[in-house]
């Protein structure tokens, strides 16, 4: 979906098509430590089928409390997993404590519900408190965030239409290739440092010759740079700065965005060529302390140009492989 044409301040209509839910900070103690102790694991890596009807976002089947499988977005930009208000009501999930959610444009106290068990493939995660948002805002029945994903090697095997969750030491194959633990000739590997919300902030990303700090947000449809990147790379706005498009966030508020394009986006030396981008000083960049340097959110539009992307949170690195030809 494209942003609507700018008028007296046009609004991007879907709040999840352009960006993702960002960090959530609990008002009470975080349940993540307890979750890590009680998670039920399986000895083999788990394979999940990717849904292809979500534009460039990636969804998998998730079941709550033993109920029927629903579509949840794989969202590496969200610190915690979330559920739609409609699904919470259908399942009669009891309320939990409010949490402070840092979204695209603002921060806001948000209600949660208590979930006895989240089942993703053969993996079962008990005892979560999940923020609740309208389904229209999420664009799906829920989100899988870093509270669940960051303890795995997350493989987004776009070409094969599957995602894989693997623990360190678990062998996982991609297509007919070898295991993901070994670097393959077709892959480029980028090291990352942990951001305050658990995201991997990558180096070796270059936009029109400008070294750029980047992080992967698989829940975002579009890639978005901050205004510092736009200035440093001397990218001209395709929209009238005096009549900006506005982007709405899940938790309210809006931010002005400019559209433009990089002549060449490079990841670890691999050239992706001309790449459309949005530009805005998002609250997300404030959260990750990236306002004082050129920064880029890598969304699904860039991720799906690769055959696979491997986010290895344990080793703090990301592998990009199998760059696919553009039609």
User: In this model, does residue 169 exceed pLDDT 50?
Assistant: yes
Q: What is the mean pLDDT of residues 72-98?
A: 93
208 vs 130: CA distance, rounded Å: 40
Query: Which position has the higher pLDDT, 67 or 171?
Result: 67
User: In this model, does residue 112 exceed pLDDT 60?
Assistant: yes
pLDDT digits (tens, 9 = 90+) for 234-288: 999 887 767 767 777 666 667 888 899 999 999 999 999 999 999 999 888 998 9
pLDDT digits (tens, 9 = 90+) for 187-243: 899 999 988 878 899 999 999 999 999 999 888 888 999 999 999 999 998 877 677
Query: Burial code of 193-218, b = ≥16 C-beta within 10 A, e = fewer?
Result: eebebbbbbbebbbbbebebbbbbbb
Going by C-beta distance under 8 Å and a sequence separation of 6 or more, which residues neighbour residue 26?
97, 99, 100, 129
Number of other CB atoms surrounding residue 54 within 10 Å: 18
Among candidates 291, 289, 296, which has minimal Cα distance to 233? 296
């Amino acid at each position: 979906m494209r942003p609507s044409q700018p008028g007296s301040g046009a609004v991007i209509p879907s709040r999840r098509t352009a960006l993702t839910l960002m960090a959530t900070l609990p008002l009470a103690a975080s349940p993540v430590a307890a979750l890590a102790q009680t998670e039920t694991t399986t000895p083999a890596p788990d394979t999940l089928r990717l849904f292809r009807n979500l534009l460039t976002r990636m969804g998998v089947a998730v079941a709550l409390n033993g109920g029927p499988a629903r579509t949840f977005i794989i969202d590496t930009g969200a610190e915690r997993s979330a559920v739609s208000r409609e699904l919470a009501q259908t399942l009669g999930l009891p309320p939990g404590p409010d949490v402070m959610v840092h979204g695209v444009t603002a921060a806001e106290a948000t209600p949660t519900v208590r979930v006895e068990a989240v089942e993703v493939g053969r993996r079962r995660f008990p005892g979560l408190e999940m923020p609740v948002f309208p389904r229209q805002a999420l664009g799906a029945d829920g989100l899988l965030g870093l509270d669940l994903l960051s303890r795995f090697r997350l493989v987004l095997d776009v070409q094969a239409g599957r995602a894989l969750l693997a623990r360190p030491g678990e062998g996982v194959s991609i297509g007919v290739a070898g295991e993901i633990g070994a670097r393959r000739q077709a892959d480029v590997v980028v090291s990352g440092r942990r951001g305050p919300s658990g995201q991997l902030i990558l180096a070796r990303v270059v936009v029109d010759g400008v070294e750029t700090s980047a992080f992967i947000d698989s829940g975002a449809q579009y890639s978005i740079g901050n205004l510092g990147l736009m200035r440093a790379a001397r990218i001209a706005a395709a929209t009238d700065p005096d009549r900006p498009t506005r982007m709405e966030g899940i938790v309210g508020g809006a931010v002005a965005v400019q559209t433009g394009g990089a002549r060449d986006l490079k990841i670890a030396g691999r050239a992706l060529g001309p790449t459309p981008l949005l530009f805005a000083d998002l609250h997300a960049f404030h959260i990750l302390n990236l306002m004082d340097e050129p920064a880029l959110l890598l969304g699904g539009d860039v991720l799906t140009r690769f055959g696979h992307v491997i986010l290895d949170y344990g080793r703090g690195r990301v592998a990009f492989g199998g760059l696919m030809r553009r039609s």
